Structure 1
Amino acid sequence: MGYDLHITKATESSRGSQKPISELEWKNAVAADGLLEMDTTATAINPRTHEIIQVSNPLMASWTDPETNEKHYFSYRRGEISVRNPSENAIKKMKELASRFGAQVLGDEGEIY
């Protein structure tokens, strides 16, 4: 189980499609960033079963924290960008991206970061 944070122009993360960040905005932000890169498949290992899990999204990007070398996946869907269980540095990156879009970072329960 995880907790997601969302970059969204909406006032609630579940309403991202009402005030969407466009696919073009997202692709341009990734291209301009220098540390984000399109990475359409995320791979993880289930800690209980040790099974390899893969999630694909044609508009997903990855970002590796330069301080910790921890990789985070930024998944674009329905006009918003989500990150599962982001570190403090990933939250800073999300806020930086949100400012580019005139957006904000919201948690699953609506809290503003």
Structure 2
Amino acid sequence: MGYHVTLLRSSQGKQIPISLEEASAAAAALDGWSYSDTPPTFTFAAADTSFCLWYQEGELWTKNPDEGCIDAMLALAKRLDARVRGDEGETYDAGTTYQHPDDIQLQAEMEAASKVLIAGELKRQKFFRNAIVGFFVLLGGIGFLVGKWLERH
């Protein structure tokens, strides 16, 4: 599993898809970018960094970016009136990160979903733990009864 960074556009808490055509035009206007349509990918190559962005559902994304990758993504994002967001909901901006206002609701939804997943997992773990303890208690009880039976015979 890797760290995903996404180039996306949003306004007033709603995501606005980036069309493949406008992403292609923006990449063509910048040095170092090339486009391939099968699958739709944007490749950046420079002396100090090279990486690939995948286009999917109105977003561009990559895995495990370095600083040069983030800088190139920020330049492309500027041409698209978009932004660069990391896996943890942080928005990148010229060497810093911040919580974008459009992601505040998203962050709350991610935390709520996480709590639901954790609660379900804890319930499942409790069930299995109790089943294992119950099995050994039952096994101990059977052993005790067999021992008592053998004492009598």
Same fold (TM over 0.5): yes
Q: Name which of 39, 52, 66 aligns with 1:73.
A: 52
Q: Distance in 2 between matches of 1:23 and 1:38?
A: 10
Residue in structure 1 matched with residue 9 of structure 2 by the alignment: 9
CA RMSD, 1 decimal: 1.8
1:26-51 residue CA offsets vs partner (Å, 9 max, x unmatched):
111222223111245xxxxxxxxxxx
2:72 is aligned with 1:93: yes
Alignment gaps of 5+ in structure 1: 41-56
Which residue identity is paired with 2:9? K
Q: Give the whole-Å Cα distance in 1 for the aligned partners of 2:81 and 2:50.
A: 25
The structure carrying a bigger strand percent of its residues is 1
1:49-79 per-residue CA deviation (whole Å, 9 max, x = no partner) reads xxxxxxxx52102112322xx4201111111
Greater percentage in helix:
2
| Number of residue-to-residue matches in the alignment | 90
Identity of aligned residues (%): 34
Q: Structure 2-normalised TM-score?
A: 0.53
| Greater Rg by CA | 2
Determine if the alignment matches structure 1 residue 30 to structure 2 residue 27: yes
In the alignment, the residues of structure 1 paired with residue 22 and residue 28 of structure 2 have an alpha-carbon distance, to the nearest angstrom, of 10
Secondary structure at 2:90 match in 1: coil
Q: How high is the TM-score relative to the length of structure 1?
A: 0.70
Q: Specify the SS of the correspondent of 1:102.
A: coil
